[in-house]
């Protein structure tokens, strides 16, 4: 069966939505609030704050690496799909990368909803078979001696990568640092650089 066109999906979603509203199963205002929350409040800018805090506060970083769920909740990020978080730290010798080989498990409170490529079959298969090849396609070239660790997120555990703090950022505060942390850097398909784009 050919993949349905995006317009078809949008039409189908609207049809289902009006049916649910008509039957009194959902309230339009509640739906609007959920959409608004994921469009503006929940997204990778939350995770970027967690990373920037870890870069600037060694005690927080220690808590983050020992009990990520509790440390992330200190910043107010918790809830559905983020109940059991594990943070894996990139170092000069180790690069971490996250996938869900089974479906699309992803840490919603810190990263928002997953990008389409994260849910795609090629990424899910190739991230484990050929992680370096996938990283190259994302523009990430690692020295051959650097170990790549791939973490398989699932319904019980969601992983977040703590990227390495870029060189030359010593004088920057947490807010400025957060602007350097992209979504991909926290999935591990990117790295943070002193000029990398902000997570949106």
Q: Which residues are catalytic?
A: 100, 103-105
Nearer to Fe ion, 100 or 177 (CB): 100
β-pair type (85-89, 94-99): unpaired
Where helices occur in 67-155 by DSSP H, the ranges are 68-74, 108-111, 116-119, 121-129, 131-137
Compute the least distance from the CB of residue 185 to Fe ion, in Å: 21
Q: Say if residues 107 and 162 touch (Cβ distance below 8 Å).
A: no
How far, in Å, CA of 8 to CA of 2, rounded? Answer: 12
Nearer to Fe ion, 154 or 169 (CB): 154
**Residue with token string 């609207």:** 14
Compute the least distance from the CB of residue 155 to Fe ion, in Å: 7
Residues found near Fe ion in the complex (CB under 5 A)? 100, 102-105
Nearer to Fe ion, 102 or 175 (CB): 102
Compute the least distance from the CB of residue 101 to Fe ion, in Å: 8
CA dihedral sign, ordered 24, 29, 35, 37: negative
């Amino acid at each position: 069966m050919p993949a349905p066109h995006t317009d078809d999906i949008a039409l189908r979603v609207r049809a289902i939505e009006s049916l649910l509203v008509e039957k009194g199963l959902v309230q339009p205002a509640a739906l609007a609030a959920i959409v608004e929350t994921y469009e503006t409040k929940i997204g990778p800018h939350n995770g970027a704050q967690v990373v920037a805090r870890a870069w600037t506060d060694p005690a927080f970083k220690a808590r983050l690496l020992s009990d990520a769920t509790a440390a992330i909740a200190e910043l107010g990020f918790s809830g559905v799909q983020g109940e059991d978080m594990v943070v894996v730290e990139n170092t000069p010798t180790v690069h971490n990368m996250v996938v869900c080989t089974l479906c699309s498990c992803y840490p919603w409170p810190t990263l928002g909803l997953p990008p389409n490529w994260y849910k795609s079959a090629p990424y899910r298969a190739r991230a484990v078979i050929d992680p370096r090849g996938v990283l190259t396609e994302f523009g990430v070239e690692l020295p051959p001696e650097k170990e790549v660790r791939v973490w398989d997120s699932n319904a019980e555990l969601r992983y977040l990568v703590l990227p390495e703090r870029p060189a030359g950022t010593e004088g920057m505060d947490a807010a400025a640092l957060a602007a350097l942390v992209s979504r991909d850097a926290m999935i591990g398909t990117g790295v943070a650089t002193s000029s990398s784009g902000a997570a949106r």
